[in-house]
Structure 1
Amino acid sequence: MEKLEKTLEEWKAMLDPQQYEVCRLSATERPFSGKYNATKTDGVYHCVCCNEALFDSKAKFDSGCGWPSFYEPIGKSAMTEIRDVSHGMIRTEVKCARCDAHLGHVFPDGPPPTGLRYCINSVCLNLEPRE
């Protein structure tokens, strides 16, 4: 996978303000506010910054946390994991492997088969419905 690199100014020009804040500055959208939190549409979720495929809707589940949740990414190489010790807790941040966009966090409290919960900001995603 070829890495996509842009300056913050280039990202700011191509993303809307909320996408820029979350994807490039690691902010978080308000819980239960994202357009994909409750969607049941069948398809593939892509990174809003670089269009890399990240999650299949088949791995989406309702965790009740207020953000779209998935039990696994579309592939192990789709994202990178980084230890995050901000906000007085230890978490694992997930970023798009292609463009380093902040997506959200992964937690060890998801359903089978993985036991993981990828808690992802809707604003970071574009859903491409299956036909």
Structure 2
Amino acid sequence: MNALQIKLMPRLDAPSVAPMSVIFSIRSYRDAVRAAWNNRRVVNMTRSSLCELTGMRAPHVTDYLNERETDERGRKLRNMPAEYLPGFEAAVGNSFASQWLAMQSQLTILEAQIAEQKAR
């Protein structure tokens, strides 16, 4: 996913939602995390700021946002753990990663909300 600015559907109480056409074009969870970062609300936010807001460690964030899949020795770079997802999405101001994960389960956001309500 390139660094194009994508028109997001803003929400006041939660991260903005990306159009599903954009989510369908994302190939992997890593790409979704990078797309979220590339389309962050605060354009001047640094990786250090992201770490301060989320509690993530700087070397790990470097791995999460790296364009490559492996390091120079061929070892796979880390993916961002799910425990950081809510804080990450709040910091970047969009829900690319959550939307991509929901799509992998073949759920739309609305279907996920309906299923949650039925479970209550």
TM-score, length-scaled by structure 2:
0.26
Q: Specify which structure has the higher proportion of helix.
A: 2
Larger RCO, structures 1/2 (Cα 8 Å, 6+ apart): 2
Q: Bigger radius of gyration, 1 or 2?
A: 2
TM (norm. structure 1) is 0.25
